Amino acid sequence: MFMSAAKKVVIVEDDSDVRYLYQRKLEIEGFTVYAASDGAAGLAVIKQVRPDIVLVDLLMPIMSGSEMLAQLRAEEWASDIRVIVLTNISKDEAPPALRFLNVDRYVVKAYHTPAQAAGVVHEVLGTRAP
């Protein structure tokens, strides 16, 4: 069952190979995907695109994922954007402020394939895979 209108996803990930894998998998799943390589660029893309969901790494150059989320959540229009943290930092090592940034899921890349992560995106958005 295809989604009637493609949901918009922004991936903010500094590793180009990882970013590409997740972007391709989500496109195959029927999402419209935008990507950025650091938190500052991610924030700019999110402001422009107004996505349904953001997948964000935590450790990135220029601006970390948690800094980006803090700035995003300060914007009234961004309060309902769903967020999945997609990182290799264990939840125990994550910045404490992350608890207050309205994150829907915390996914450790080392333990999830792109297909499993796409399943989490579908779950959070309440959509079905094609």
Of 24, 31, 25, 22, residue with least CA distance to 2: 31
pLDDT band, very low/low/confident/very high, at 127 (cuts 50, 70, 90): confident
Of 120, 130, 106, 98, residue with least CA distance to 9: 120
Domain boundaries, the chain: 8-125
Residue 6: CA atoms inside 13 Å, Cβ hemisphere, count? Answer: 13
The set of residues, in sequence order, having a beta carbon less than 8 Å from that of 15 and lying 6+ positions away, is 57
Element (H, E) at 35: strand 32-36
pTM equals: 0.90
What residues form DSSP beta bridges with 53? 9, 82
Evaluate if residue 4 carries a pLDDT over 60: no
Query: What burial class does residue 70 get, using C-beta atoms within 10 Å of its C-beta: 0-12 exposed, 13-18 middle, 19+ buried?
Result: middle
Q: pLDDT digit string (tens) for 33-65? A: 999 999 999 999 999 999 999 999 988 889 898
**Helix (H, G, I), strand (E, B), or coil: what is residue 15?**
coil
Q: What is the CATH number assigned to the segment(s) 8-125?
A: 3.40.50.2300
- In the numeric block, the tokens 């958005």 are attached to 125
